[in-house]
DNA sequence: TTCAAAATTGAAATCATTGTAAATAATAAA
DNA sequence: TTTATTATTTACAATGATTTCAATTTTGAA
């Protein structure tokens, strides 16, 4: 609790009760929660909570670089407190999202950490060659 | 045109004019169009076209295995005619989505095909160890 | 205590997607 | 050809996540 306060203050974020709870929720939940998940968890403690606050806060955290949106499935934006980019594994049955080892390179493995791999999805983001030529930065 | 007809018929899909146009659109567009993109392109030729038809058709094509939804950004479901799974590159400036070499493994490269890589996003999909134990299939 | 700025809230708006049922087109049977 | 059956397309309403916005509450400095 005090730890979270410090982390937020270091990033120039005022540690309101809502923000602390949301950060706590992101730390504890091992499964990369959606905005809805976060809302439902914290609503039990703060019944006046607004969904707008969740969206405002994850936007703020993202802008400050302490949170990263993870988009794996349609209509599902999940949030990841880990700052370093790392691979994910999403279960097609229960929907849970697991963290995988950073720098992991699976070639033809069919299994990892006990999870059965059925599909792989890789995307790189950046600036394409056309936009680089245009030098519009 | 005749080629498309054959492909559809081989998969047991009746080649209506809408379906042919949608398939054609998916083949030509090098940039993995969204449902909206497809609609706007074909609407010029078929002004009676319904958006529902686009959604029905991409669902049908997906079920028949000739199309794959690609989800890279929030609120953006794109469609990919390539059946084999392959990595993508999405430009943060213009939004274009490029195909990359299959089996490509970028370690610490900062550039590929002239594109500047700023971020990498990897996700594996399958059945997690918990769900495997439960044997609920 | 007072007041302005920051944070939170709820309601309405937006927008992609889905559901549904009627309309239309294609096909087969008579 | 005419009629009946089925497949396909369409329009429109419903859904659900996210955004916008104005009003209210909280905070913290003077
Ligand atoms: Mn993660
Ligand atoms: Mn592709
Ligand atoms: Zn699972
Ligand atoms: Zn570009």
* For the ranges A15-19, A90-94, B91-95, the one whose mean pLDDT is highest: A15-19
Both structure tokens of A133: 């030529």
What is the 8-class DSSP label of residue A104?
-
Q: What is the 3-class SS of B84-130, one letter each residue?
A: CCCCEEEECCCCCEEECCCCCCCCCCCEECCEEEEEEEEEEEEECHH
More confident residue, A107 or A118: A118
**Which residue, among B91, B87, B96, B85, has the nearest Cα to B34 in the 3D structure?**
B96
Query: A35-39, A60-64, A83-87: which has the minimum mean pLDDT?
Result: A83-87
**Which residue, among A63, A72, A125, has the nearest Cα to A100 in the 3D structure?**
A72
For residue A99, report the phi and psi dihedrals to the nearest 5 degrees: -80, 145
Q: What is the pLDDT of residue A38?
A: 97
Q: How far is the CA of B47 from the CAs of A108, B25, B40, B43, in angstroms?
A: 47, 16, 10, 5
Q: Which numbered ligand comes closest to the C-alpha of A102?
A: 1
Contact at CB, B126 and A114, closer than 8 angstroms: no
Separation between Cα atoms, residue B84 and residue B25, nearest integer Å: 19
Tens digits of residue pLDDT in A38-77:
999 999 999 999 999 999 999 999 999 999 998 776 667 8
User: How far does the CA of B39 sit from the C1' of C20, in Å?
Assistant: 21
User: How far does the CA of A6 sit from the C1' of D3, in Å?
Assistant: 79
Q: What is the pLDDT of residue A74?
A: 64
Separation between Cα atoms, residue A83 and residue A113, nearest integer Å: 22
Q: List domains and CATH numbers for chain B.
A: 2-80 (1.10.10.10), 88-136 (no CATH)
What is the 8-class DSSP label of residue B136?
-
H-state helical runs in A1-137: 2-10, 17-28, 35-43, 51-63, 129-134
Both structure tokens of B50: 């319904």
Separation between Cα atoms, residue B91 and residue A125, nearest integer Å: 6
Enumerate the nucleotides of strand C whose atoms come under 7 Å of any protein CB. Answer: 6-11, 15-20, 26-27
Q: Which residues share a beta bridge with B122?
A: A122
- Expressed in angstroms and rounded, the spacing between residue A94 Cα and the centre of ligand 3 is 4
Looking only at the bridges linking them, the beta strands covering B111-112 and B115-127 are: antiparallel
> Which residues from chain A sit within 8 angstroms of residue B122, using beta carbons?
87-88, 120-123
B68 touches chain A (CB under 8 A): no
Which nucleotide has the least CA–C1' distance to B54?
D9
Contact at CB, B129 and A107, closer than 8 angstroms: no
């Amino acid at each position: 609790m005090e730890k979270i306060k410090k982390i937020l203050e270091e990033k120039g974020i005022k540690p309101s009760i809502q923000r602390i709870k949301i950060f706590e929720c992101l730390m504890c939940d091992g499964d990369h929660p959606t905005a809805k998940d976060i809302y439902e968890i914290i609503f039990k403690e703060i019944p006046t909570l607004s969904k707008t606050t969740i969206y405002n806060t994850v936007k703020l955290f993202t802008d400050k670089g302490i949170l990263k949106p993870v988009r794996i499935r349609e209509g599902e934006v999940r949030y990841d407190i880990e700052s370093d980019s790392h691979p994910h594994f999403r279960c097609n049955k229960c929907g849970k999202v697991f963290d995988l080892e950073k720098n992991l390179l699976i070639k033809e493995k069919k299994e990892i950490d006990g999870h059965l791999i059925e599909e792989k999805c890789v995307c790189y983001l950046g600036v394409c060659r056309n936009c680089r030529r245009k030098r519009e930065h």
